[in-house]
Amino acid sequence: MKRIDQQKQVDVASPERRKILGFAVAAINLALISAIIGPVIGFVTSPMRRKKKGQWVSILDENLLAKGEVQEVNFSLRIKDGYQVVDRKYTLYLSRSQEGVVCIDPACTHLGCRVRFQSDKHRFVCPCHGGVFSEDGKVVSGPPPKPLERHKVKVESGKIWIYKET
């Protein structure tokens, strides 16, 4: 008789034990899924959450750029790259027209090769795949999908300043 009573007590307690084990398994699965998906979501959304930093940089005296002239300008910026501070070198093209000063980035919009300005033909040419851009950076021919990138420019106190994102 005692044996039958003990089995009945165990059977009655069994559904509660199953619920507790079910909750424990569900909690462990939820923790594992969160541990996997959490970093993936953080990685995918990090560019949207990152604020772009930039600064105005004086790169040339205003009187050194004549109207109708396109000039290659080299400069360097001290930037924080990871854990170290380094001097990064940049190259840009400045041109002056009736509308004002324009700053053009020399990276081709096709594959990022560096374009060269041909002053005799008044155009930029990409040596990699033959892309041709007009003097103001618009696509004339070749594979580039869009015009050369422009940077913000201002002329103040006799200097030409560009806004460079870092």
The pLDDT, as a whole number, for residue 14 is: 67
Per DSSP, what are the bridge partners of residue 103?
94, 151
How confident is the model over 69-115, as pLDDT tens digits?
A: 888 999 888 888 778 988 888 899 998 888 888 899 999 998 889 99
Indicate the domain borders of the chain. Answer: 1-50, 54-165
What CA–CA distances, in Å, run from 50 to 53, 66, 147? 9, 39, 26
Tell me the C-alpha distance between 158 and 98, whole Å: 17
User: Options 3.40.50.720, 3.40.50.1260, 2.102.10.10, 3.30.70.100; which CATH number does 54-165 get?
Assistant: 2.102.10.10
| Longest alpha-carbon distance in the chain | 111
Q: Is the pTM of this model over 0.75?
A: no
Cβ atoms of 162 and 92 within 8 Å: the answer is: yes
Cβ atoms of 123 and 132 within 8 Å: the answer is: yes
The pLDDT, as a whole number, for residue 35 is: 92
The pLDDT, as a whole number, for residue 7 is: 53
- Count the helix, strand and coil residues of the chain and give each as a percent rounded to the nearest 5: 30, 40, 30
